[in-house]
Amino acid sequence: MSALLSRAEGPVLILTMNRPQAMNAISPEMACRLADAFTAFDRDDALRVCVLTGAGDRAFCSGGDLATMLPLLTGARTAETEWDRRVLEEPEVMDRSALRRFRLEKPVISAINGHCLAGGFETMLATDIRLSVPGARFGLPEARHALIPFAGALVRLPRELPRPLAMELLLAGGTITADRAAGMGLVNRILPPEELMPEAMRLASRIAANGPLAVRAIKRTVLGSSGLTLDEGYDLEDAARAEVLGSEDAREGPRAFMEKRSPVYEGR
């Protein structure tokens, strides 16, 4: 059984981390498959939104597998499989698997079906919209194991939260409830388990029905303007405006509204 399941429903790609017996911990195989799936998603114009979730009802993702991934990265074991060799020989695999140093302009929604810890938490931080079940717990326990988060949390988390809150999560290594995560703004909302994927798909479908050039320009500008001065950010906004307003989709949207019909966007 593959460590990552992938299927498309129209313009929505659904990726399911599929190691429920290990709380969907990230093995070398899963990291490679995630990296490849995100790359393929980025290149496929027919796919407009990705929903990322985990198999089972215990965990979204518990982070790097302590039995396979971490010993490989620390040198405690040697490469035994092609997946192992890719992780060691292609450093960009680990980055792409967590959407780190990989500028994906299409939206990604996290459907957090259970505990979201360590590398799973870091991958969540790279997603744009986050839905969670009530029983999920969130945390970065790496320091407790004499490790550090290295899939983006050291940089991303202090940009999302006030510094004291980010530092407590990073340094103490504890966990927080879904309610606390929502109160901090880490997740958009909490849903009963049976409503999680239906709501994620409804939201993905709404986004996928919007102008694809506009959606990508919005995400690209938001990501690119982080850390810039206001004027530098406005320059990116101006460039996005020129690109989008010059498109056929930008003419089709208002025309369809005036004609009281659904727009037909072609991404050009």
- Which residues are annotated as catalytic? 122, 142
Would strands 108-112 and 115-117 be described as parallel, antiparallel, or unpaired? unpaired
DSSP 2: -
Angstrom CA distances, 72 to 93, 95, 110, 142, stand at 14, 16, 27, 16
Distance CA 195, CA 112 (A): 12
SS3 8: strand
Query: Could you say which DSSP state residue 268 is in?
Result: -
For residue 55, give Cα distances in angstroms to 191, 192, 204, 263.
17, 16, 19, 35
Contact 37, 15 (CB under 8 A): yes
Query: If you count them, how many residues does the chain have?
Result: 268
For residue 82, give every residue at least 6 positions away whose Cβ sits within 8 Å of its Cβ, in sequence order, or none: none
Residue 49: name the closest of 204, 180, 265, 248 by CA. 204
